[in-house]
Amino acid sequence: MMINNDTIVKDTDPSVRRKSVPVTLPLSEEDKTILKEMYQYVLDSTDEEKAKELNLRPAVGISAIQIGIPKQLTAVVVHEIDKNDQEVTYAYMLANPRITSRSVQKAYLENGEGCLSVPEEHEGYVVRNARVTVKGYDLLSDQEVTIRARGYFAIVLQHELDHFNGVLFYDHIDPANPKPEVPGALVI
């Protein structure tokens, strides 16, 4: 399957709102292929030349529902600078990931979120948890993993897992107050 900007399911298509179902473990060859292709999309989308050639929008994550497959599969590749000013990359091909704990502290991206399935901009803060713990199976390491994420990486995981419930980022924006004061929030 070729995944590109033309084949990504957009928010004008109600199927992107379908709930995703858990997959059977160990993963079938079909599910492994889906995860690998989504992961490759994310990797290629950040390479300007490949992105232009293959018609890819830049992404840090993609979930299977965005390619028309209602399964709990997602691929993420997030590059960040850690507290020691070192670049760190979080890369996962996750099956059946679930959030097992959330911080009380909130976080949001100052410039808002975007999504491959949402071509137009939506102004406003998407207030999420600043830290989350996610458990699931990771095809990249071929094992069950526990991910403790903070900040931007935590936001990315929450965004992708929202897709499993048919939720898009702008569903979290209050149209009456799109940029509320959020005391104590981590602003990224």
Asked if the model's pLDDT at residue 1 lies above 90, the reply is no
DSSP state of 176: T
User: pLDDT, tens digit, for every residue of 24-38?
Assistant: 999 999 999 999 999
Contact of 163 with 63, CB cutoff 8 Å:
yes
- Which of 8, 61, 71 lies closest to 34 in space, CA to CA? 71
How much is the pLDDT for 81? 87
Please report, for residues 17, 65, 98, 166, the alpha-carbon distance to residue 45 in angstroms, rounded to integers and kept in the order given.
24, 18, 25, 23
Please give the model's pTM, rounded to 2 decimal places: 0.96
Cis amide bond preceding 22, omega within 30:
no
48 noted as active-site residue: no
User: pLDDT, tens digit, for every residue of 128-150?
Assistant: 999 999 999 999 999 999 999 99
Write down the catalytic residue from 80, 144, 160, 181.
160
User: pLDDT, tens digit, for every residue of 89-129?
Assistant: 999 999 999 999 999 999 999 999 999 999 999 999 999 99
Q: Measured between alpha carbons, how far is 159 from 78 in angstroms, rounded to an integer?
A: 13
What integer best gives the mean pLDDT of the chain?
97
Fold of 14-187: Peptide Deformylase (3.90.45)
Asked if the model's pLDDT at residue 82 lies above 90, the reply is no
